Amino acid sequence: MKKAAFIAVIVSSASIIAAGAVLAKGGPGRHGMSMSFEEIDTDGNGEVTQAEMEAMKAARFSAVDTNGDGVLSLEELTAQGAKEVAAHAERMLEKRDANGDGVLSQDELSKQRRSGKMFDRMDADNSGSISKEEFEEARNHMRQRGHGKHRPGQKPGAETEQN
């Protein structure tokens, strides 16, 4: 029973976060380009027009606007976020469940592809720990590469070396 309650809390929290991400992106849908070129090129002429892009955005909006009132309520955003979180969790389970038991152990979660490499990159002096300076340098490097935009703690409109 405790496991079910814990999972419910995680899914609820994640759906609220995902709904916020949907709203912040200016519309519903998954992160990044999830549709193929052929799906967007609805007239099949080998080129995507602005009208086709707008039609795609409108269709994605309509799919989330379940009551058809032309606006997205908190309930609609939360429902869409929950769908996205559930799909992400399913992909994560499929990818990381090494022993195929349908659950993830701490050990399976700890074996992330990049976590060790990330630590090694941040530990520039190979001391086995990350200093505040190394941490700040790594964060600045991520911002320069476009991975640190709009993150918690970053001041809106803050200048980076990339700007």
Contact (CB, 8 A) for 162 and 149: no
Interval 80-129: pLDDT, tens: 999 999 999 999 999 989 899 999 998 888 765 555 678 888 888 989 88
> What is the C-alpha separation between 149 and 119, in angstroms, rounded?
21
Domain encompassing residue 130: 115-144
| Domain contains 160 | no
Q: Average model confidence (pLDDT) for the chain?
A: 76
| Domain contains 36 | yes
- Amino acid 4: pLDDT: 54
- Amino acid 90: pLDDT: 93
> Does 85 share its domain with 120?
no
| Domain contains 55 | yes
Contact (CB, 8 A) for 140 and 161: yes
> Does 86 share its domain with 138?
no
Of 110, 135, 153, the residue that ends a domain is 110
> Does 52 share its domain with 129?
no
Please choose, from the candidates 121, 124, 89, 98, the residue with its C-alpha nearest in 3D space to the C-alpha of residue 7.
89
> Does 79 share its domain with 26?
yes
> Does 103 share its domain with 120?
no
| Domain contains 96 | yes
| Domain contains 77 | yes
The tokens describing 44, both together, are: 């099949």
Interval 17-35: pLDDT, tens: 544 444 444 444 444 446 7
* Cα 9 from chain centre: 19
> Does 123 share its domain with 51?
no
> Does 55 share its domain with 78?
yes
30 compared with 52, residue with greater pLDDT: 52
> Does 48 share its domain with 120?
no
| Domain contains 161 | no
- Amino acid 33: pLDDT: 47
| Domain contains 150 | no
Domains contained in the chain, number: 2
How does residue 54 score in pLDDT terms, banded at 50, 70 and 90? very high
> Does 58 share its domain with 126?
no
pLDDT at 40 exceeding the cut of 80: yes
> Does 104 share its domain with 129?
no
> Does 14 share its domain with 39?
yes
> Does 62 share its domain with 8?
yes
> What is the C-alpha separation between 19 and 80, in angstroms, rounded?
7
Percent of the chain with pLDDT over 70: 65
Contact (CB, 8 A) for 28 and 57: no
- Amino acid 116: pLDDT: 65
Fill in the DSSP letter of residue 154.
P
